[in-house]
Chain A
Amino acid sequence: MSISTYTMPLGPVHVALEEPVYFHLTVEGEDIKNVELTSGHVHRGMERMAMQRTLVKNVTLTERVCSLCSNSHSFTYSMVVENALNLAIPERAKYLRVMAEEIKRVASHLFNTAIQAHIAGFKSLFMHVMEVREVVQDIKETVYGNRMNLASNCIGGVKCDVTNELLDYIMKQLEVLEPQTDELYDIFQTNHIMLTRTKGLGLLPTEDALALGVVGPVARGSGIARDVRRDSPYAAYPDLEFDVITEPGCCVHSRTMVRLREIKESIKLIRQCCDKMPEGPVCVHMGKIPVNEAFAHSEAPRGEVSYYIRTNGTDIPSRLKWRVPSYMNWKALSVMMKGAQIAEVALVLNSIDPCVSCTER
C-alpha cells in the first residue's frame, strides 16, 4: 500500500446498506483501487433448520428467508415439494400464486428504486416512490392481511381464496398505481441529478454479464433477455401475456429503467389474473410422501431462485437447498466497481438489489 492510499471500511452497519455486508475499500482520494468483500453477518443456518422441520412448517420458514422477495421463496418451495410429491395444483391456485408474486414484485422494485433515490441524496424522490409503493402495500394489507409476508402459499395450492370483491379492489388500486408509475418512469428518465449520478455508472458489458451468469434485472439491464417466467414457464405464466423487458445501457440507470418498466408488465399480469381467474378449489391434499428428489425454479424480483429437495418418505426433508439470485449477481460487483468512486459504491451495490439475508440465509 502506498502512502497516498488508505483503507476505508464500509459496513457492516452503514446508512446506505439495508443489510449487513462489509466492504474493505482501498481508496486513493475519491477513487477506489480495490474492493474486498466480507459477508456472513446474517447467517442463520436456515438450510439446517429446514432439515429439522416438517414439509408444511418449512413453508413458513422459507417465507422468512428474505423480506422483499418472501413470497418467491415460499412459492418456489411449494412448487419443489409439489414436484417431489407429483402433486397437481388447482388452476385457480396457479392464478392466485402468480397474482401474489407479481404484487410482491411491484413492491420490491419500487422499494429498490426508492432506495436508489435515497442513496443519491434525493429525499423528496425517495418519499415520492415510497408513497407510490404505499398503494401496493394497501393491496397487500387488504387482500392478505400483512404488509410484508403475504403467507399466501401452502403445499398444494394457496391458503386463502381471494373473493371477487377483493379482485375488484385490486383492479381499482391498479388504476391508481399505473399513472403514478408512469410519472415515476418520466422522473427517472429525465431528472438531471438522477441521470448525472446513474447514467454510465457501474458498467456491466453484455459479454461480462453472460460470462458471470447474472440473472434478473441485472442481466436484463445488460441487454440479455433472461426470464424464468418465459424461458421455463411455471404456474399460470404460460397462459399470460407479458414482455421481457431489456435495456441496452448496461449501467445502473438501465437497471432502474428495467425495474420501472417491469412494474408496468406486472400490473398487466395482475390484471390478466383478475380477468382470467377460473372458479374452483384453491388447494388439494398433500397425499403420501414418496422417496424422491425434485427441482423447481422461478423468477423472483431479483432474478432466478431455484430450490432442490430430497425426501426420504417421512415428512421431514433429508435435504433442502436453494440458490438465490443475489448469489449470482454478487460476483458482477467486481466488474461494476472498477474505477468507481466512494460516492458511487452504494449506488452500484444497490443496482444489483442485493439480498444479503437470502444469500447467507
Chain B
Amino acid sequence: MDTLLGILHMCIFPGGIFALVIGFFFKGLDRRVEARLQRRVGPPLIQPWLDTAKLLTKETLIPKTACTQAFLLAPVVGFAGMAVCAAFIPVPGVFDGLSNMGDLLVLFYLLPIPAIAMMMGGSASSSPFGAVGFSREMIIMLAYETPLLMILLSVAMLVGKSMSGGDWGAEFSLLKIVEWQQVNGSLGYNPVMIPAFIAYLIFLPGTMGVAPFDIPEAETEVVEGPLLEYGGPLLALFHVGSALKTFVVLGLGVAMFFPGTIGDFWLVNLIWFVVKCLVLMLISLTVVKSATGRYRIDQAFRFFILVPTMLALCSLLLVWLI
C-alpha cells in the first residue's frame, strides 16, 4: 500500500502532474515577466504547454555518430530523477513529503541528476558543442554543489542542535525541519541563516542554468550545448524535466527557509506555498536574469567559490559556534 501511495505521490501530487503544472506555470510567468521588464509583450502563459505539444508531434532524430542508448536515456533519467525528487518536497500544511527521515540527504543526491543527464546527453550526442557543454556543465555543477551542501548542513545542524537541546546534532528530515520552524519561527528570519538564504538565492540561477550562469547552454557561444542535437519528444522531455526542477528547487527553498502556514485549510496553504515559490522565483531567477549578462565559465566558478560558498560557510560556522 505504501509503495502504491509513493508512486501516486510521484505521479500526481506533489510530483508528476502537480509539479509539472506548477513548473510550466512558473516558466510561462517567468518568460512573461522577463518580457515585461524588457518592454516586450511576451508569450501567453500557456506557451510552455504549446511548445511541449509541438515538440511531441515532431519526429525523433538521432545523430548517426551518437551513442544511441545513452542519447535516448539521458532525458528520461533527468525527467525521472526530478519526478522522484518532487515527491520529497513537503508542502506545509498539505503534504508531509514522501519520507520522514533523511530526505534532505536524498534530495542532495537527486538534485544533480538533471545536470548529469544533460552531461550524458551532451557527450553521447558526439557533437563538439555537446562536448564543450558537457565540460561546462561539470564545472558549474562542482561550483554550485559545494555551497548547496553547506546550506543543507547548516539548516540540518541548526534544527538538530535545537532539537537535541543544544548538543551536537543534525536533523536531515525535511518534515521535522518544517515542523521545527512552524514552532520556532522561519529560518529565513533567523539572522544566523540569512547568509545561507542569500547563498541559496545565488544557487538557484546556477542550478537552473539561467543568466548569469547559463554558460553550459550559452546560445551565442555553444548553441545550446548539450541540447543542440536533441529535438522532438526527447527535447520536450528535457523541458519537462527542467519545469519539474524549477518546482523542486523552489519548493526546497520554501521548505527550508519559509515554511509558515496560514490557517488549517489545505487549499489556502497550497496557494500560500505556490505564492511563496513564485516570489522566490521572481527575485532569484527572473529579475536576476533580466538584469545580467553571462559570465565566462572560469569567472562563474570563481564567483561561486568566492560569494555563495563563503556566505554558506559563514552560516555553517555561526551555527556550529552558537
Contacts and interface: CB of A to CB of B under 8 A. Distances in A.
Nearest to A192: B292
B135 A29 contact: yes
A341 B218 CA distance: 14
B214 A121 contact: yes
A193 interface: yes
Q: Please classify the interface of chain B as helix (H, G, I), strand (E, B), loop, or mixed, using the class held by over half of its residues.
A: helix
Contacts of A346: 220-221
B39 interface: yes
B54 interface: no
A14 B128 CA distance: 14
A127 interface: yes
A30 B212 contact: no
A192 to B, nearest CB: 8
Interface string B287-308: 0011111111111000000000
A6 B128 contact: yes
Nearest to B210: A121
Nearest to B128: A8
A3 to B, nearest CB: 13
A162 to B, nearest CB: 30
Nearest to A125: B293
A111 to B, nearest CB: 16
A117 B221 CA distance: 13
A15 B292 contact: no
Contacts of B51: none
Interface in A175-204: 191, 193-194, 196-197
Contacts of B220: 15-16, 118-121, 346
Contacts of A15: 219-220, 223
B293 A197 contact: yes
B199 interface: no
A122 B129 contact: no
Contacts of A8: 128-129, 132
Q: Please classify the interface of chain A as helix (H, G, I), strand (E, B), loop, or mixed, using the class held by over half of its residues.
A: helix
Contacts of A193: 212, 292-295
A343 B40 contact: no
B300 to A, nearest CB: 10
B115 to A, nearest CB: 18
A323 interface: no
Contacts of A197: 293-296
A48 to B, nearest CB: 35
A168 interface: no
Nearest to B223: A15
Contacts of A6: 128, 131
B293 A127 contact: no
A343 B218 contact: yes
A9 interface: yes
Contacts of B222: 342
Contacts of B292: 122, 193
B212 A121 contact: yes
A314 interface: no
Contacts of B37: 124
A125 B129 CA distance: 26
B100 interface: no
A351 to B, nearest CB: 14
A7 B128 contact: yes
Contacts of B214: 121
A27 B135 CA distance: 13
Contacts of A119: 220
A131 interface: yes
B293 A343 contact: no
Interface in A96-144: 117-125, 127-128, 131
A120 B223 contact: no
B38 interface: yes
A353 interface: no
Interface in A1-25: 6-9, 14-16
A124 B37 CA distance: 8
A125 B294 CA distance: 12
B293 A121 contact: yes
B211 interface: yes
Interface string A318-348: 0000000000000000000000011111100
Contact of A121 (B135, B136, B218): B218
A326 to B, nearest CB: 20
A194 B290 CA distance: 14
A231 B232 CA distance: 58
Interface of A: 6-9, 14-16, 27, 29-30, 117-125, 127-128, 131, 191, 193-194, 196-197, 341-346
Which 10 residue pairs of A and B lie closest in terms of their CB atoms, listed nearest first?
A: A121-B294, A122-B293, A193-B293, A16-B220, A127-B38, A120-B293, A8-B128, A119-B220, A124-B290, A121-B293
Given A121-B219, A123-B289, 9 more contacts: A15-B223, A30-B298, A118-B220, A123-B34, A197-B295, A197-B296, A342-B221, A342-B222, A344-B296
Interface of B: 34, 37-40, 128-129, 131-132, 135-136, 211-212, 214-215, 218-223, 289-299
20 contacts: A6-B131, A7-B128, A8-B132, A29-B135, A30-B297, A120-B220, A121-B211, A121-B214, A121-B293, A124-B290, A125-B293, A127-B38, A193-B294, A193-B295, A196-B296, A197-B294, A343-B296, A344-B296, A346-B220, A346-B221
